[in-house]
A and B are shown apart, each in its own frame.
Chain A
């Protein structure tokens, strides 16, 4: 029983991070129909910015805020300068561009920050809470992870549901031409969308780094998990991305917790789940694509 609770809790915590990364992919996919393969190395870049600030003596929180702002700026610049020229062109062009960007940013990090492992701090402890005389796998850090992802998601929901900017962003995502005819500055909304997505992606990169090590390719497995979570949720649905991330987090946690030598199976399991979803429900668990016209 205790093991089940612990495995579940750590699955949920990891799942929250996958959800955030998946959400970053989904936000960009539904507005520009591009899978941003560069999201992972963009997030890694912001983690190294945060690390540099922390190493310079500033607090974790200052570093977090600066890194998230840097993520926004990076996302917006990438859309405006690199993605805009290939938007509306053949889909493969955008894929190649984001893949190229993924490699280029990772290489740039290695050139600037070196490719050795560097430990990344976490603002809270990683010792589990104690109930009676048993220690559970719920740590202050995991509460911080879950809480910060929930706060960011709530802010996004509020933005999209209740503000005029959010409505303009949704209109731009779903009906570019109509939105332009109605006076919405679609280009600006897409830039904003990429910036916000990059903030969410950066947050997931900072959270997964917390209490561990960073190196230029440290995001690689999260990219895979986040992508699987996004596909699980249907790529089009923000709620789907969140639920997909949690399902994947739990599934992988149970596999590594209960299956003999399961931790070695985590990566391959994620890919098996991806294949099964694509075979059985290619639209994802929350497919709403029937509502969509071409």
Chain B
């Protein structure tokens, strides 16, 4: 994976969680039998999966497979009809949305979630509001990771390009010091080069900082190239869960569900 900036500035501590960290490879976020619906339309039908600490777990599937609903139900934006979500053993199924970030879960919603009217710097500050006073150096670390947005820090966020917006929202999520990052379609509408760059940075953050990521993607090829584990979702159900490279190698599955 190439990094167009040649930036290797993923410095220690940028994503260092406040609390203790689960050992790599152990289940951090567990979803068990999650079912939710929009009115009569059932979007998730008993989804069970787990995201391991220090890994990137990619949830793949076509439009309407329930990927976005899955993330929205995990973070409490959508109330589940059945099932359980636990984070590091703590049941968070019915916790209020506002409390999730304090428990170590940062959800970057679909469509980037930049607050367009605020400046870049203000967007970052919103990410750290719940923590009280935050050292300026933590912001500098985020700007080191994403030099492109550092140049724009006093500009209104609506002036940023799609790729810069994605960097901003990931940086903002890092300031929340999450144990797990929920990313909804980060590649949406971005040039392949930018996608590669952002996924490369994610990989670095996971490898060097022990961040855990639950990634939802329609762009299965890119997602599998960076992920450790892949979960294929179809019509609200899990079809298969496997190592990313095994999914990559399974031509039948790729044709049937992943479209490449």
Q: B37-45, B121-129, B222-230, B247-255: which lies at the A interface? A: B121-129
Contact with A along B73-103 (1 / 0, CB 8 A): 0010100000000000000000001111110
B97 / chain A contacts, CB cutoff of 8 Å? 180-181
A178 to B77, CA, bound (A): 11
B260 near A: Cβ within 8 Å? no
**Beta-carbon contacts under 8 Å, A178-217 to B:** 178-186
Partner of B127, one of A174, A180, A182, A293: A182
A171 to B115, CA, bound (A): 7
Contact with A along B127-138 (1 / 0, CB 8 A): 101100000000
B117 / chain A contacts, CB cutoff of 8 Å? 170, 174, 291-292
Contact assessment for B116 and A174 in the assembled complex, using a CB-CB cutoff below 8 Å? yes
Partner of A183, one of B98, B116, B122, B158: B98
A181 to B176, CA, bound (A): 10
B172 near A: Cβ within 8 Å? yes
A183 to B172, CA, bound (A): 12
Partner of A178, one of B100, B113, B122: B113
A171 / chain B contacts, CB cutoff of 8 Å? 115, 118, 122, 126, 129
A155 to B212, CA, bound (A): 43
A175 to B157, CA, bound (A): 12
Partner of B129, one of A175, A184, A293: A184
A261 near B: Cβ within 8 Å? no
Given contacts A177-B109, A292-B116, contact A167 B125 (CB under 8 A): yes
Partner of B118, one of A164, A174, A185: A174
Contact assessment for B101 and A183 in the assembled complex, using a CB-CB cutoff below 8 Å? yes
A170 to B115, CA, bound (A): 9
B176 / chain A contacts, CB cutoff of 8 Å? 182-183
Partner of A181, one of B75, B116, B118, B156: B75
B203 near A: Cβ within 8 Å? no
B107 near A: Cβ within 8 Å? yes
A182 to B102, CA, bound (A): 9
A183 to B116, CA, bound (A): 18
A182 / chain B contacts, CB cutoff of 8 Å? 101, 106, 126-127, 129-130, 172, 176
A168 near B: Cβ within 8 Å? yes
Using C-beta atoms within 8 Å of the partner chain, give the interface range for chain B.
20 to 34
Contact with A along B146-165 (1 / 0, CB 8 A): 00000000001010000000
A179 to B123, CA, bound (A): 10
Contact assessment for A167 and B98 in the assembled complex, using a CB-CB cutoff below 8 Å? no
**Distance (whole angstroms) from the CB of B18 to the closest CB of chain A:** 13
A183 to B115, CA, bound (A): 14
**Distance (whole angstroms) from the CB of A210 to the closest CB of chain B:** 36
Chain A residue nearest to B127 in the complex (CB): A182
Contact assessment for A181 and B109 in the assembled complex, using a CB-CB cutoff below 8 Å? yes
**Distance (whole angstroms) from the CB of B48 to the closest CB of chain A:** 24
A177 / chain B contacts, CB cutoff of 8 Å? 77, 109, 113
Contact assessment for B109 and A183 in the assembled complex, using a CB-CB cutoff below 8 Å? no
A180 to B107, CA, bound (A): 10
**Beta-carbon contacts under 8 Å, A148-173 to B:** 164, 167-168, 170-171
A181 to B77, CA, bound (A): 9
Chain B residue nearest to A186 in the complex (CB): B98
Given contacts A181-B75, A184-B129, contact A175 B98 (CB under 8 A): no
B122 / chain A contacts, CB cutoff of 8 Å? 167, 170-171
Partner of A167, one of B102, B107, B129: B129
Given contacts A167-B129, A177-B109, A178-B113, contact A183 B118 (CB under 8 A): no
Chain A residue nearest to B175 in the complex (CB): A182
Contact with B along A13-27 (1 / 0, CB 8 A): 000000000000000
A170 / chain B contacts, CB cutoff of 8 Å? 115, 117-118, 122
**Distance (whole angstroms) from the CB of B70 to the closest CB of chain A:** 15
Contact assessment for B102 and A183 in the assembled complex, using a CB-CB cutoff below 8 Å? yes
A167 to B125, CA, bound (A): 8
B126 / chain A contacts, CB cutoff of 8 Å? 167-168, 171, 178-179, 182, 184
B106 / chain A contacts, CB cutoff of 8 Å? 181-182
A174 / chain B contacts, CB cutoff of 8 Å? 115-118
Given contacts A168-B129, A177-B77, A179-B126, contact A184 B98 (CB under 8 A): yes
A22 to B100, CA, bound (A): 37
Chain B residue nearest to A179 in the complex (CB): B126
**Distance (whole angstroms) from the CB of B116 to the closest CB of chain A:** 6
Chain B residue nearest to A185 in the complex (CB): B98
A sample of 17 cross-chain residue pairs with beta-carbon separation below 8 angstroms, ordered by A number, consists of A168-B126, A170-B115, A170-B117, A171-B118, A171-B122, A174-B117, A175-B114, A177-B77, A177-B109, A180-B97, A181-B100, A181-B101, A181-B109, A181-B113, A182-B101, A184-B130, A186-B98
Q: Which residues of B pack against A, CB within 8 Å?
A: 75, 77, 97-102, 106-107, 109, 113-118, 122, 125-127, 129-130, 156, 158, 172, 176
Given contacts A175-B116, A181-B113, A183-B99, 17 further A-B contacts (CB under 8 A): A164-B125, A167-B122, A167-B129, A168-B129, A174-B115, A174-B117, A174-B118, A175-B115, A178-B113, A178-B126, A181-B107, A183-B100, A184-B98, A186-B98, A291-B116, A291-B156, A293-B116
